[in-house]
Amino acid sequence: MNLNEFRNEPHIDWTNPDNRKRMLEALEKRKITCQKTYPIIVDGRGYITSEILSSYDPADKNRLVGVTFQPDKLLITCAEKSAEHAGQSWRKLPWEKRAEYLLKTAQIVREKKFEMAALLVYEISKTWDEALGEIEEAIDFLELYARAALKYGKDTTRQPYVQAECNLTRFRPRGTTAAISTWNFPFSLSVEKIAASLAAGCPVLFKPAEQAPIVGWHTTKYFLDAGISPELLAYLPGGKEVGNILITLPSVTQISFTGSEKVGRLIEKSALETSGKLGIKNSDLEMGGSNSLIICPSADLDEAMAGVIRSRFSFNGQKCSALQRLILVGSRDDQWIKNFISRISLGSLKIGHPENPENNLLTAVIDGAAHQRITERIQRISQKGIDTIEKADIPKGGWFARPVVFYNLPWEFYGHPDIQEEVFGPVLFILNASSLDRALEIANSTRYGLTAGIYTGSTGDIDYFLEKIQAGNVYINRPIVGAMVDRQPFGGIKCSGKGKKVGTKEHLKFYLNEMTISQNLLSRGLKTS
């Protein structure tokens, strides 16, 4: 099987009238199918239980997107046994065949991209552009991991010049994966986990985020429609009860998780304490961040402002890579800072339901709990008398959070939990530093280390920044969000993550056991059987 070199999926062209027409048609069709029921999927069959899970449109709290159900422990155990049994055949399937299934899934996603984009608009309040970008990322994961399967399906010879001895590395599937996904990229990151696991030869017990169960159902269907054995992938929606069962199942050998640091730590602890049939469970944890962007005096201010807006306010700041702490280097007076803030133009940022393509930046936050958490954070900081600028008018009827910028913070407040802990909402803190060295000290003062960036016109600043910054993904003179598969492998350090970066062929190694084989080629009496 020969595949062309990997290339990222082209971004959709919204100037093409046909693309806009198809998106509008998909949105209308999705409105009609709202309130539909989506069953649990085990062995390819649908199941319903008494535990009903309802999903609502964040930008229209009265619109029901769909209904699904939470499985009980018996049903989860049935899914586990089926996956374990089917996994014995799947692991023996040639790697090239597994790659073919991923490529078929990629083609299905391409054909249904507007259908999924419309669902992302209504279930998690993504803009048109963000929704299609997520779908393109999902296709990239499928295409890249299909190629990764071809790479790791071949034995690698080590030191072939050694005489009379053959030394090889061979990769073999670990076992069943518990894939616990997130709501902010519910399609692409679910596809990532499922595709990597299947490519490596491992079956999947998939729990989508509570806030995006309908996206999870369609994700599962796309893989099943590609023709994989239905026992290999179970759709098990629900809350922490389902997650707690999955991570303690004896046949689960690895847990892939994207979410909060708090939950990630609990998963890591459980993985170590509840060994499976094959020993200690592996865990791959992608968690949060408190990300910084430094602007030096030599920076192009227009370029920097565009980067700040995208880095903080795209998808309402609900990205683990999003900017939270903007650090201005050099002596600044109040008027300069006010002029700087005015360039962010909070008053001109459009906010509304994402079904309207004009609302292309700010929409609703995911749910009432998120809205309350963000609002309470803003209130606590405001009570300390810190200067703010905020958007005055926001829509009603949905979970719309008011975008806020805090500035002129006293330096002793820089380490406060309300500044350091991830907001996951449209709130920006502007901090000041007398020098680049001090700016880096502030940037590194958090226990997180996911993304960071700098805007500067000095190569010396760049070199010093790269030497000192503590982050897994760093960006120079560009936004700190928008990592692309294979181009910018994504993953953090410190408390932001544990495991291989996603979006690389090497990520498949998380799902594989590595075997070293050494054979004496001069052994006497060896017979061919």
Active-site position among 136, 286, 355, 422? 286
Write the single-letter amino acid at 182: T
Active site residue 34: no
Active site residue 320: yes
The rounded distance, in Å, linking the Cα atoms of 225 and 490 is 29
Helix boundaries (H) for 330-454: 334-344, 368-382, 417-420, 436-443
Coil, strand or helix at 255: strand
Coil, strand or helix at 365: coil
Return the number of other C-beta atoms located less than 10 Å from residue 97's C-beta: 12
The rounded distance, in Å, linking the Cα atoms of 480 and 311 is 6
The rounded distance, in Å, linking the Cα atoms of 433 and 329 is 5
Would you give the end-to-end CA distance of the chain in angstroms?
A: 29
Coil, strand or helix at 45: strand
Torsion of CA 304, 481, 11, 510, to 10 degrees: 150
Per DSSP bridges, beta strands 176-180 and 204-207 are parallel
DSSP string, 208-232: --TT-HHHHHHHHHHHHHTT--GGG
| Nearest residue to 217 via CA among 236, 199, 230, 203 | 236
Active-site position among 320, 355, 422, 495? 320
Q: Taking CA 490 as the corner, what is the angle to CA 226 and CA 461, rounded to the nearest 5 degrees?
A: 155
Provide the sign of the torsion angle of the four alpha carbons 475, 477, 482, 485, taken in this order: negative
Tokens of 247: 């991570």
Write the single-letter amino acid at 478: R
Beta-bridge partners for 37: 67
Catalytic residue numbers read 286, 320
